[in-house]
Amino acid sequence: MQSVVSNGFQINNKIQGKLEVSYSVANLSLLERLVLNHDGRLFQEDWNDSSGKWEVYWNSLESECDVYGKCGVYGSCDPKKSPICSCLKGFEPNNKDEWNKGNWTSGCFRRTPLQCGITDGKSDKFLKLKNMKVPDYAYWSSGGQDGCKRKCLKNCSYFAFAYYTGIGCMMWNTSLVDIQQYSAEGADLFIRLAQSELDPHLRKDLDWKKRFIIVEGICRGLLYLHSDSRLKIIHRDLKASNILLDEELNPKISDFGMARIFGSKQDQANTLRVVGTYGYMSPEYAMEGRFSEKSDVFGLGVLLLEIVSGRKNNSFSNYESLSLLSYAWKLWNENDIVTLIDPALDFDQSFRVQILKCIQLGLLCVQEYPEDRPTISALISMLDVEDVADLPRPKKPGFTRKKIYSTDDELVPQYGEEHVSINLVSDLTVLSGR
């Protein structure tokens, strides 16, 4: 086998695993030489007749980050930072003393073990790193970007993947070495991490503008199901983990396994088998098996309060409060509803009214009796109201004093291996939509 690349290097395979590398100059009038110095740096030098000297035209190390494995395993090098080496998110230095002294070759270790393949373990997530020089020793695979994601997600032995146009799918099942941050170009590198490593990081990254885009998108999606679709569809399991976000954070409502189709003149239905997720089910559905458009609106209200507060409805301990709904109602009656806003939410004061409006709309959606809740079309109209004083005042939410168990209590649906769930605000799911 013989390979010639554009810069003049020619590689010839020899017997017994040896390689012979030769270099040819395209312009024979030029006098060039390659110099390998004592620390392993390779220089290309051209002879300058005018000065009578060799001048460096190119060298293999433009920065310290070009030294192979400068930051060790799971370390990333950025020549524009000081120090240049840092551990990837979710990793810590193997030897902190040496690391602090500027010797980074020992690299980093994973802080939280991966859960992939562990029974009842929470699914691992992928952290996206932009403009990266990808690690060495990649496993190459055919197929497009979506196929690359699916292959990596299906196999617990892969720790990272990347897709680069013109190169294809790359996956890694060994420790990641020689990662570098570029200011431009490079590839998007996805690192597998335990779910707990990503939740706080991504929640903080969701500013109010992004959260409101999600709110509006969910509302439009529910309006389509209830009014604009050829068939009226009641989802019956509207919750955070059933909202898929694409890379621009546009939401899509997913998982219609529990959905029911209504006739054009049908307003509600009854069932003897209550299925769904505790914390998102309306009282009339959980207690009596009655469901309607207003049941979905109740789930939407829970989502609104979760997005604003950054907390799950069922994340409250008994001594703290029964649920997010009861906590929000308590703050509302104490005129202290501002306390509900997520502390990680760094927002401009110009958004304050919009945030408070979403809290009030959330409380209107979770009122105890379905006839008091707005329809989704009315709710979307209320999103455009500028003064919250013009909105109806909410009545008591439909929370219960003890847990109501259902056949699918706290069910977390499986979306297939192509989906990656990331707790951005609660369990909003990122990377791919349906």
Q: For residue range 62-89, list pLDDT tens digits in order.
A: 788 988 899 999 999 999 999 999 999 8
Ordered by where they begin, the domains of the chain are 9-61 (no CATH), 65-201 (no CATH), 206-390 (1.10.510.10)
pLDDT bin (cut points 50, 70, 90) of residue 2 is very low
Cβ atoms within 10 Å, residue 385: 14
Q: For residue range 182-192, list pLDDT tens digits in order.
A: 988 889 999 99
Q: Whose CA is closest to 299, among 398, 416, 159?
A: 398
Q: For residue range 313-344, list pLDDT tens digits in order.
A: 877 655 445 789 999 999 999 999 998 998 87
d(CA 384, CA 396): 24
Q: Who has greater pLDDT, 62 or 214?
A: 214
Q: Whose CA is closest to 90, among 122, 114, 66, 64?
A: 114
d(CA 158, CA 174): 8
The answer to whether 300 and 261 have CB atoms below 8 angstroms apart is no
Which tokens go with 178?
């020689």
Site of tokens 């230095």 = 93
Determine if residue 45 is left, alpha or beta; phi over 0 gives left, psi from -120 to 50 gives alpha, anything else beta: beta
d(CA 319, CA 65): 52
Angle at CA of residue 380, ends 375 and 386, nearest 5°: 125
Which tokens go with 269?
């239905």
Among 78, 178, 199, 237, the one annotated catalytic: 237
237 as an active site residue: the answer is yes
d(CA 362, CA 365): 5
* pLDDT score recorded for residue 31: 87
d(CA 172, CA 192): 10
